[in-house]
Amino acid sequence: MDNAPALEISDLAVYRGVLRVVDDVSFTVPSGTYVGLLGLNGAGKSSLMAALSGTLPVRSGTIRLNGEDITRARPWERSAAGLALVPAGRQLFGELTVADNLLVGGHLSNKAERHVNVDAVCDLFPMLREKLNQKARELSGGQQQMVAIGRALMANPKVLLLDEPSEGLAPVVVDQMFEAISKLRDTRSLAVLLAEQNASAGSLCDSMLVMTTGRITLMDSAQQKDVNAVAQAMFSS
């Protein structure tokens, strides 16, 4: 469907054991827009990301990708349909080179396409070009995050789920990371769901949601991006 939002989540409920970690969550990510998902430790951001990418089952509700119901689709089917996750904690293969980590993300493409895509990732994050033959574990946290984002981009996704890209980075590196994401925003048309604890991620986003113990407690669809309201919603439970 041409006019369908890139990602549409309706009345989603997800459990971990007996705990309802995603509780009747509904929102959309329109094509080409960035939606911030702000929440403290344990709010349910990663559980929502896992349900969206297909590694945690959905109890009830629906997930649509460009109008297509993917609620019960297998993870690789979602990936082939244009959804990519940049997981929390990066999850790189530390013993593999940066190039090999990127190529893992491009395994569905042919060799020529993979080559073009590695080049495009290096254009986006120029410092990766001279690190291609280095082991991923030798890179700094910020550089590793760029590899993790680059690996997801290798699949040419339409929707990108970014789970706490600032996690574990020093403040100055967080600024560089957000600048890199801002460059991504300027250079590619992607729908992005950006989970963060760091409210300054709001400056990258068209709209913001706040998640508190599994529920969406603030939806800033008016695009006012009222930082005080966001902070208040994040810290109330």
Ligand X SMILES: Nc1ncnc2c1ncn2[C@@H]1O[C@H](COP(=O)(O)OP(=O)(O)OP(=O)(O)O)[C@@H](O)[C@H]1O
Q: Which residues are near Mg ion by CB under 5 A?
A: 45-46, 88
Could you give the strand order of the β-sheet that contains 191-196, starting from the edge strand earlier in sequence? 83-86, 159-163, 191-196, 34-38, 207-212, 215-219
Q: Taking the complex as a whole, how short is the minimal distance between the CB of residue 197 and ligand X, in angstroms?
A: 5
Q: Taking the complex as a whole, how short is the minimal distance between the CB of residue 107 and ligand X, in angstroms?
A: 26
Q: Among Mg ion, ligand X, none, what binds residue 47 when CB lies within 5 to 8 Å by partner kind?
A: ligand X
- Are the CB atoms for 99 and 79 separated by under 8 Å? no
Contacts of 28 (CB under 8 A, 6+ apart): 5, 7, 8, 9
Q: Taking the complex as a whole, how short is the minimal distance between the CB of residue 212 and Mg ion, in angstroms?
A: 14
Q: Among ligand X, Mg ion, none, what binds residue 89 when CB lies within 5 to 8 Å by partner kind?
A: none
- Are the CB atoms for 198 and 168 separated by under 8 Å? no
Q: Angle 171-187/141-153 helices, nearest 10 degrees?
A: 20
Residues that bind ligand X (CB under 6 A): 16, 19, 21, 39, 41-47, 88, 164, 197
Residue nearest Mg ion, CB atom distance: 46
Q: Taking the complex as a whole, how short is the minimal distance between the CB of residue 164 and ligand X, in angstroms?
A: 6
Contacts of 90 (CB under 8 A, 6+ apart): 144, 145, 147, 148
Between residues 85 and 154, which has the closer beta carbon with respect to ligand X? 85
Q: Among Mg ion, ligand X, none, what binds residue 16 when CB lies within 5 to 8 Å by partner kind?
A: ligand X
